[in-house]
Amino acid sequence: MTAGEGVNIMGAEATALLAELHKDCFRESPERAWSAKEFGELFAMPGTSACLLSEGGSPKAFVLFRRVNDEAEILTLAVHPAFRRKGLGQRILVYVLDHLRGQGVQDLYLEVRQGNEAARRLYLKMGFEVRGNRKGYYALEGGEREDACVMHCRL
């Protein structure tokens, strides 16, 4: 499957593509990568969509989100390692925020690993605020656990 240039909203038809990109994004921690089956299960939930950013004929970043009425949750945001620190995360997040506003979403939530400083900085820059902490939310290699920072953005 190929994706068009630019940023596109996609559904379950993107399951295999997103699983492959997610695997590439988490190759340093393969146990954290989601399978095509897991993506399929997420897309089976009402209101789940993905926003895919492609350039030069290849997918570079995506956001998976779920919308229910006037609230939404970002399930994952991933940028291929070869294209990080080039503004793609911010670019795709701006697109998603605008898309969700247009859908009538007023409140957007997400969880991010406490130790993921780059992601936390991006979310703060984009208007998210820390709302809480989930102890031991993320499983790490070797059986360790890491807290999640719960964030919210009023659209």
Block means of pLDDT (10 residues each) for the chain, 155 residues, are: 68 93 79 87 96 90 97 96 91 95 97 93 96 90 89 97
**CATH (domain of 77):** 3.40.630.30
The residue among 40, 48, 49 whose CA lies nearest residue 19 is: 40
Q: Is residue 140 part of a domain?
A: no
Q: Is residue 131 part of a domain?
A: no
pTM of the model: 0.90
Q: Is residue 136 part of a domain?
A: no
Q: Is residue 118 part of a domain?
A: no
User: How many domains does the chain divide into?
Assistant: 1
Q: Is residue 65 part of a domain?
A: yes
pLDDT one-digit tens code per residue, 69-92: 999 999 999 999 999 999 999 999
Q: Is residue 62 part of a domain?
A: yes
Residue 49 CA to residue 14 CA, distance in Å, equals 10
Q: Is residue 143 part of a domain?
A: no
Provide the domain limits for residue 64. 6-110
Q: Is residue 30 part of a domain?
A: yes
Residue 13 pLDDT: 93
Task: Give all strands (DSSP E) within the chain, no chain letters.
Answer: 6-10, 48-55, 58-68, 71-79, 107-113, 129-139, 145-154
Residue 2 pLDDT: 42
Residue 26 pLDDT: 81
